[in-house]
Each structure stands twice: as C-alpha cells, then as structure tokens.
Structure 1
Amino acid sequence: MPDVEFVRDDDPRRAVLEQAGYTVVGESWGARLRDPDRALLEAAVLRAAAAGLSVREVGPEYAQALCDLETTNAADYPYTPATAHTARDLTGTRDLWLEGGRVFGALDGERLVGATVIRTVEDRAETAFTSVLPEYRGKGIGQAVKAASILALLANGCTLFGTGGAGLNAASLGANEALGYTIEERWYSYAPPAANQ
C-alpha cells in the first residue's frame, strides 16, 4: 500500500494525520522478553512433550517440511502493512539457515506440525515467525517451539528477546505474553485519504 505512514501510538503525529483524513488500516505491536523465566519456558516445552510431540531444533533437512508448513498457513497470517508475511519457496526456505536463522520445530512422529525461526540481530534474538498447522492450534505448540528457541539462545548467553505481530492476531499475542513477553510499543498504519477511496 503506497504512502502508508507507520506511527507509534504515543506519537503526536497521529492527531495530525487523522485531521488530514488519514485512516488506520492496520495495528501492530512489538514486545520484549528480558531475563526469561527458565522454568516457565521449560514447562511450555514439557507440556508439548506430554502431548506426544518432540520439540527440538531442526536443520536444513527440514526445509521441505517447513516450506510445506508455511504454504499451508500462508493465508492465515493476519495482514497489516507493517506485518505482511510472505511464505518462501523451497530455495528461500533453505536460505533461512544460511541467513543465520535457527529453526525449532514440533514433530508429531516425523511430521513437522509447528515451527519458529529466530535469529540474533543487534542486541537481541528476534523471532522471524512462528507457524502451527490449523489442526494443532490452541494446544500450546506455538509457545513450545518459541520457548525451545529462547532456551537455546539463553544457553548461548542471550538475555534479550524480541517479537511482534499484527494487532489482529490475539492468539499470537496471548502466547507471547504467556512466555513473559511484554508489549513495549504499538504501531498504527495510516493510509492517506486517496488510498481509502
């Protein structure tokens, strides 16, 4: 969407944009997790294990499975101009590992049913995305793979973690808050009057 303005919720420009006829076309949030509660994270992983799933880091041999997972879920990602998510093809999925991403998956037998990708950026570890197959949602799998990724990065000395998402995605927000993330910023996407006609 052309000419969209991304403005934090505490920015005085919001009032100026609204007076000029701009309208909100999306909301998003950013959250941080500082000094995570290891026991809380381990409990999230153990709940998935108790349900019969294996939660662990997976390598590029899972590129096809991750690509299939993302293709299945592509239409389910809530869209905002600030949080648009595009599923990668197989080559792009393989590149996740080459780009420094670490992938943590939930496996039901040999089937990859959920995954998260995390990478170190600047002063923190940032989640790129978390994805769970529709029939496995609502069972704590997203929390489990994310918790496993945080535990792994904690072992490497990382203590600050970031994530974010669309304001429409209440399930994602709830899962992150359950792991101890705190929203530190909210953003609004404003479209100019011409884009609303």
Structure 2
Amino acid sequence: MTFEVVRADDPRCAVLEAAGYTVVGESWGARLHDPDPVKLEQVVRRATGVVVHELGPSYAEALHALEQANEADYPYTPATQRTVGSLETIRELWTTGRVFGALDGDRLVAATTISLIGTRGETGFTSVLAGYRRRGIGQAVKALSILTLYAEGVRLFGTGGAALNDASLGANLALGYVVEERWRSYAPPAD
C-alpha cells in the first residue's frame, strides 16, 4: 500500500480527505534553537541510578540488544518507522553520527543517536528499556547529546516522532523543543 504523507497545514489534506483517503497516522517535527545549557545540565544530573555518557562503538552489541528489546514498543506510522535491523546496521550508527547512553552498572538501559545534517544536530532515535521509562533517563541521554554538540558550536537541533507517543513529545518539549510541523499519513480509499 502506498501512503501519502502530507504536512497537516497543506491544502492537499482537504483534497485527500474529500477523495476518501483516511488518516492512519500523525507525526510531528520539532526544533530546539539556542538551547539552555544550564537547563540541560540539570536534566542530566536528575537521572539517578544510572551513568550517562557518550558511547563508543564497543557498545554496538549492547545497543543492538536494547533496540531488539524495545522494537515492538516503537509506535508505527507510515512517516515514523523504526526497524532495528542487524548488528552491522547498529555498528554503522557510529559512522554517521554519535551515540549517547545510560548505564545501570554494565547494562545499557537507554540510548540516543544524533547526527549533523548541515549545521543542525538531528536525533535519529531515543530508546529506553521498559523498566526505566518515566524516570527522566531518556531526557538525560538526549540532553547530554545536545550539550555535547552545543559545546562544539551547534545551535540548532531537530527531532520528531509519532503523535501517539505522548511521553516522547512531552520529554522533548521539556528540553525546550518547539513543535514546528505536524504531518498526517493517509491511506488511499479501499477499493
């Protein structure tokens, strides 16, 4: 099935809906302009019981295991899909960007990836193991990724996600992101 992914403020939405297309998913894109390093440092410090830091490629197997454990929990929309893939796919994350994580002892319990797209730091995904959610750990790893790139001169950051993932949206808004765009995914009319 071919889906149409259209920005929510695009006049084509009304045209598609009049033609019988159905909204099957919604997503958002947000930007963080000139982040507040003091606020972000507080977020990192609030993550108790874990150690948050940048991860090197030696963590590829641990990240792959974390992602496999969380794969079924990622919300699906045609515009926001997360397929973990192979261990080699995970290893490639270090060639295209950077990885930050939270460790409880030796166990990787949260991670985020960030890459530079032009002058913008763009989050690829943020993943938190089920038993560690709603404790600010996902926010902490993301905050550290922003702080690290901020120290290197980056001043604009981007992220996004599925509209039905309220926790992700709330965590990003708390970090200072502002939703700048919303998207609708349409399925064509049934034959």
Q: Calculate the TM-score normalised by the size of structure 1.
A: 0.95
**Distance in structure 2 (CA, Å) of the matches to 1:88 and 1:54:** 26
Stretches of 4+ aligned residues off by more than 4 angstroms: none
AA matched with 2:42: A
Q: CA RMSD in A?
A: 0.8
Q: How many residues align?
A: 191
Q: Calculate the TM-score normalised by the size of structure 2.
A: 0.98
**Distance in structure 2 (CA, Å) of the matches to 1:52 and 1:189:** 39
AA matched with 2:126: T
> Deviation per CA, 1:101-136, whole angstroms, max 9, x where unpaired?
100000111111000000001230100000000000
AA matched with 1:164: G
**Distance in structure 1 (CA, Å) of the matches to 2:84 and 2:178:** 27
SS across alignment from 1:86: coil
Residue 182 of structure 1 pairs with residue 178 of structure 2: yes
Residue 115 of structure 1 pairs with residue 114 of structure 2: no
Q: What residue number does 1:81 align with? A: 78
Q: What residue number does 2:58 align with? A: 61
**Distance in structure 2 (CA, Å) of the matches to 1:93 and 1:3:** 28
Matches within 5 A, 1:30-179: 30-48=29-47, 51-99=48-96, 101-179=97-175
Question: 1:88: Cα distance to partner?
Answer: 2.5
Q: What residue number does 1:6 align with? A: 5
Percent identical residues: 66
**Distance in structure 1 (CA, Å) of the matches to 2:2 and 2:91:** 33
Structure 1: gaps of 5 or more residues: none
Question: 1:193: Cα distance to partner?
Answer: 0.3
Structure 1 window deviating more from structure 2 (119-128 vs 25-34): it is 119-128
Question: 1:89: Cα distance to partner?
Answer: 1.4
**Distance in structure 1 (CA, Å) of the matches to 2:104 and 2:62:** 12
AA matched with 2:88: T
